[in-house]
């Protein structure tokens, strides 16, 4: 099956679910509001600049999960989906997903945002499989650590190659949609790299290399 691979934040969503989850925690007063907001803003700026230390960021973003039970986190995430994620979903993104599904393509989302945040979003979007940083769970509680390689920059390629080896899928005829310079390693790997509402750096690269550049903004 042809792979249709999608980045999530800034691509399928008109916004960033990882950053917005941090904002959500601040708004609900579930974290130290001022300090957490400053750090969340700093990490987001580093991500946009292509300088983010993903391990440092994941340690920051996963720490709040350790404070709650799995049941409490499920309820929080349901509220997050309704209040924050649904407004970021885009009709054109849904149509693009349907276009690939109708062609019998395998829908694969690869994101640097952790699986706790993105798993339910991928399900809501109809993805066949999701590759995301995996938070460690011991005794039914999040530890604040991750398992394995985070799917960020070159890590997206590493995680994808591991998945290909496990499943027998191939990259023949593959598509990848992304908005970010951080995804250049994977964009260079697929048959059809497509920039989506891209940042300035990726926009220039797409122009120079003749890659398609589309918008999913409603």
Q: Secondary structure of the chain: what % helix, strand, coil (to 5)?
A: 55, 20, 30
What number of residues does the chain have? Answer: 218
* Residue 148 to residue 144: CA distance in whole angstroms: 13
Q: Indicate which residues carry an active-site annotation.
A: 7, 9
| Sequence-ordered list of residues with C-beta below 8 angstroms from that of 83, at least 6 positions apart, any chain | 24
CB 129 within 8 A of CB 106: yes
> What six digits make up the tokens of 8?
């999530």
How far apart, in Å, are the Cα atoms of 173 and each of 3, 16, 45, 211?
7, 28, 34, 15
Query: Residue 147 forms beta bridges with which residues?
Result: 134
CB 151 within 8 A of CB 132: yes
């Amino acid at each position: 099956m042809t792979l249709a691979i999608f980045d999530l934040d800034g691509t399928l969503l008109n916004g960033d679910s990882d950053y917005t989850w941090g904002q959500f925690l601040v708004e609900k007063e579930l974290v130290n509001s001022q300090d957490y907001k400053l750090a969340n803003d700093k990490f987001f700026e580093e991500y946009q600049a292509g300088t983010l230390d993903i391990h440092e960021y994941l340690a920051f973003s996963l720490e709040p999960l350790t404070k709650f039970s799995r049941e409490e986190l499920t309820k929080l995430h349901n509220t997050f989906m309704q209040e924050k994620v649904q407004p970021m979903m885009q009709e054109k993104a849904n149509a693009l997903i349907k276009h690939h599904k109708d062609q019998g393509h395998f829908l694969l989302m690869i994101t640097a945002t952790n699986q706790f945040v993105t798993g339910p979003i991928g399900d809501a979007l109809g993805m066949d499989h999701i590759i995301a940083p995996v938070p460690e769970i011991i005794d039914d509680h999040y530890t604040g650590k991750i398992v394995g390689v985070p799917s960020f920059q070159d890590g997206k390629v590493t995680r994808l190659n591991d998945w290909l080896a496990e499943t027998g899928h191939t990259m023949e005829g593959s598509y990848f949609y992304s908005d970010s310079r951080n995804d250049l390693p994977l964009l260079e790997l697929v048959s059809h790299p497509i920039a989506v509402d891209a940042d300035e750096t990726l926009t220039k690269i797409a122009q120079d290399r003749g890659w398609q550049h589309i918008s999913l903004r409603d």
